[in-house]
């Protein structure tokens, strides 16, 4: 599917090994041990009702290809990012038929499949651990041709992020002496062609609708357009960085297709369709991480991205958690702050992404503790406030999309508020009111939406869909409303709720 077809979707991200087992047995899984726990593609398939019931219509699964086997210093390759053979599947997760069956089952529900892929590196368990400055002892014969020789990789050096040198970031290696990640020579045309052919086959064989691409900032930008085009699907890239003036370059690059006489016609091409919105993520966890967080950086970052990114943030992926970062309740347990932060990805411009376990209130810290087995939760949906919250947010977004044909092609605006602890986010017909006052604030914050914002008509009937509370615009179409318990509000006109037959909101 194309970026445009993806825009209205909402994505559930899961780690296959940890999301569900096919046998449904409440197996042990010691998160900190970094070992396979038995989750599989069949397990995902048997829990699609759960995912769909949360309101998601796309699933991002962790990498599927064969990984290095056995125990390393950092445990087993249960996460899937330690490629051994691009052309084979990770048998811990199932067979090719299982993966095809998952793809078919998703499509039968009109859901999309996104697969995580890594082309920057493979992984190795060294035959002997060397000091970090020496070339790791790696047996290249375990890889398939053309990767079965050191000459298919960049010369050894570990990335030193402190150098701030982009060539080093692209051509040195990730990982460390315990588990080096040999860096593919993506300057070599044969390697490039091999990868382009591989990705085209992968998406075709498993009927994949979109790709989450790992380590995008670790390969030269001009590698990506052909690669993304070869995939034939929507590409969402991971550029793990909070510097907007760095991430912006992954949204487009100058491309000179034609030289006409003395003029070069320079056009812009997408490097990839969209990037995971890390810069906003960092502002959001800081802003909502405590009542003293600075919320004002959110409008700054979003505003700059809207102005400078090709396609603004419309093709980006917006998230609060993922498998690399501490879960939000690990930063704060304040239920009101959590509720506000979880709301963010669903009310902004890009594609909302929810990391499995968020809906169950999981609170793991950094890797490996943020990859808990979901079967611990029993997949309970009753009496789970975050489950209800996520369901409501997905419904509200869908309703807004169907009520406004420009919803997915226009950017949100912030309606300036006084005082530092509130945000008012307008994306008609949806108005979202957020605060970091927290659950125990002594005075409740107040949002004031002036009539001049032009959002409502005089005395218009409105509903906060998070609590199903009726609100009413004032006589000139403004709205002043006070928070309750530091909770957010998502306001929609009552008329939109009534006129939408599919909406089971309030």
| 448: CB partners within 8 A, 6+ apart | 417, 418, 478, 479, 480
> Least distance in Å: CB of 236 to Ca ion?
19
Under 8 Å between Cβ of 44 and 103:
no
Where does this chain touch ligand ABC (CB under 6 A) — which range of 73-81, 329-337, 339-347, 458-466? Answer: 73-81
Under 8 Å between Cβ of 450 and 411:
no
Residue 218 touching Ca ion (CB under 5 A)? yes
- Report the C-alpha gap between 482 and 52 in whole angstroms: 33
Residue 166 touching ligand ABC (CB under 6 A)? no
Instruction: Choose among ligand ABC, Ca ion, none what residue 479 binds, the Cβ cut-off being 5 to 8 Å by kind.
Output: none
Residue 270 touching ligand ABC (CB under 6 A)? no
Q: How far apart, in Å, are the Cα atoms of 142 and each of 82, 124, 173, 489, 490?
A: 13, 9, 19, 55, 54
What does R_g of the chain's alpha carbons equal in angstroms?
23
- Report the C-alpha gap between 344 and 410 in whole angstroms: 17
Residue 9 touching Ca ion (CB under 5 A)? no
Sites for Ca ion among residues 154-193 (CB under 5 A): 170, 183
Residue 215 touching ligand ABC (CB under 6 A)? yes
Instruction: Choose among ligand ABC, Ca ion, none what residue 9 binds, the Cβ cut-off being 5 to 8 Å by kind.
Output: none
Residue 138 touching ligand ABC (CB under 6 A)? no
> Least distance in Å: CB of 319 to ligand ABC?
12
Which pair of tokens denotes residue 466? 């998070």
Tell how far CA 489 is from the center of its chain: 23
**Which x/- pattern over 98-127 shows residues binding Ca ion (rule: CB under 5 A)?**
----------------------x-------
Instruction: Choose among Ca ion, ligand ABC, none what residue 118 binds, the Cβ cut-off being 5 to 8 Å by kind.
Output: ligand ABC
What single-letter DSSP state applies at residue 144? P
Query: With the C-alpha atoms ordered 393, 395, 399, 402, is the resulting torsion angle positive or negative?
Result: positive
Q: Which one of the listed residues 185, 209, 214, 334 is annotated catalytic? A: 214
Residue 238 catalytic? Answer: yes
Residue 331 touching ligand ABC (CB under 6 A)? no
Residue 76 catalytic? Answer: no
Instruction: Choose among ligand ABC, Ca ion, none what residue 285 binds, the Cβ cut-off being 5 to 8 Å by kind.
Output: none
- Report the C-alpha gap between 157 and 173 in whole angstroms: 6
Under 8 Å between Cβ of 398 and 490:
no
**CB count in 10 Å sphere of residue 411:** 15
Number of residues that bind Ca ion (CB under 5 A): 4
Residue carrying the six token digits 């940890």: 18
Q: Which one of the listed residues 238, 273, 349, 372 is annotated catalytic? A: 238
Instruction: Choose among ligand ABC, Ca ion, none what residue 496 binds, the Cβ cut-off being 5 to 8 Å by kind.
Output: none
- Report the C-alpha gap between 384 and 229 in whole angstroms: 42
Residue 241 touching ligand ABC (CB under 6 A)? yes
Number of residues that bind ligand ABC (CB under 6 A): 21
> Least distance in Å: CB of 444 to ligand ABC?
32
Q: Walk across the sheet containing 430-435 and list its strands.
A: 413-414, 422-427, 430-435, 489-493, 461-464, 469-472
Task: Kindly tell me which of 74 and 414 has the beta carbon lying closer to ligand ABC.
Answer: 74
Which pair of tokens denotes residue 371? 């990859």
Residue 363 touching ligand ABC (CB under 6 A)? no
Where does this chain touch ligand ABC (CB under 6 A) — which range of 38-46, 196-204, 240-248, 461-469? Answer: 240-248
Q: How far apart, in Å, are the Cα atoms of 494 and each of 93, 112, 403, 450?
A: 46, 31, 12, 19
* Candidate list 138, 179, 387, 425; residue touching ligand ABC; CB under 6 A: 179
Instruction: Choose among ligand ABC, Ca ion, none what residue 183 binds, the Cβ cut-off being 5 to 8 Å by kind.
Output: Ca ion
Task: Kindly tell me which of 181 and 305 has the beta carbon lying closer to Ca ion.
Answer: 181
- Report the C-alpha gap between 463 and 447 in whole angstroms: 15
* Chain residues that interact with ligand ABC, rule: CB under 6 A: 34, 74, 79, 81, 118, 161, 174-175, 179, 214-215, 217, 238, 240-242, 282, 323-324, 367-368
Catalytic site residues?
A: 214, 238
């Amino acid at each position: 599917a194309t970026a445009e077809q993806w825009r209205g979707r909402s994505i559930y991200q899961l780690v296959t090994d940890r999301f569900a087992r096919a046998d449904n047995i409440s197996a042990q899984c010691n998160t900190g041990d970094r070992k396979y726990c038995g989750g599989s593609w069949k397990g995902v398939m048997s829990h699609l009702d759960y995912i769909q019931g949360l309101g998601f219509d796309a699933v991002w699964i962790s990498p599927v290809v064969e990984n290095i086997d056995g125990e390393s210093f950092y445990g087993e390759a249960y996460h899937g990012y330690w490629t051994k053979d691009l052309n084979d599947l990770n048998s811990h997760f199932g067979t090719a038929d299982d993966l095809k069956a998952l793809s078919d089952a998703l499509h039968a529900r009109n859901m999309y499949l996104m697969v995580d892929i890594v082309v920057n590196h493979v992984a190795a368990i060294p035959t002997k651990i060397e000091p970090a400055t020496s070339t790791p002892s790696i047996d290249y014969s375990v890889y398939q041709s053309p990767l079965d020789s050191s000459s298919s990789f960049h010369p050894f050096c570990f990335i030193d992020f402190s150098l701030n040198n982009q060539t080093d970031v692209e051509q040195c290696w990730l990982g460390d002496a315990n588990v080096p990640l040999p860096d593919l020579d993506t300057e070599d045309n044969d390697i490039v062609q091999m990868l382009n052919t591989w990705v085209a086959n992968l998406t075709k064989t498993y009927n994949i609708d979109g790709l989450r691409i790992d380590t995008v900032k670790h390969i030269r930008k001009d590698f990506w357009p052909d690669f993304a085009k070869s995939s034939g699907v929507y590409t969402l890239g991971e550029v793990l960085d909070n510097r907007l003036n760095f991430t912006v370059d992954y949204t487009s690059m100058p491309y000179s297709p034609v030289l006409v006489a003395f003029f070069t016609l320079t056009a812009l091409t997408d490097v990839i369709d969209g990037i995971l919105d890390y810069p906003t993520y960092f502002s959001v966890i800081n802003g909502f991480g405590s009542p003293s967080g600075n919320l004002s950086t959110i409008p700054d970052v979003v505003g700059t991205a809207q102005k400078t990114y090709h396609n603004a943030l419309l093709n980006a992926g917006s998230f609060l958690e993922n498998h690399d970062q501490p879960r939000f309740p690990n930063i704060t347990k304040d239920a009101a702050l959590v509720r506000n932060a979880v709301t963010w990805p669903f009310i902004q411009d890009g594609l909302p992404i929810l990391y499995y376990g968020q809906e169950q209130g999981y609170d793991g810290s950094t890797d490996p503790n943020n990859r808990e087995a979901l079967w611990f939760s029993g997949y309970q949906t009753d009496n789970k406030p975050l489950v209800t919250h996520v369901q409501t947010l997905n419904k509200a977004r869908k309703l807004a999309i169907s009520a406004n044909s420009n919803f997915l092609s226009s950017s949100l605006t912030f309606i300036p508020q006084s005082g530092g602890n509130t945000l008012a986010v307008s994306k008609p017909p949806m108005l979202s009111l957020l605060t970091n006052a927290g659950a125990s604030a002594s005075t409740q914050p107040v949002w004031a939406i002036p009539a001049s914002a032009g959002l409502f008509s005089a005395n218009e009937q409105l509903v906060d869909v998070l609590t199903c509370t009726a609100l009413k615009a004032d006589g000139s179409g403004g709205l002043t409303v006070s928070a309750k318990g530091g909770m957010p509000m998502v306001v929609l006109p009552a008329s939109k709720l009534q006129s939408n037959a599919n909406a089971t909101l309030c």
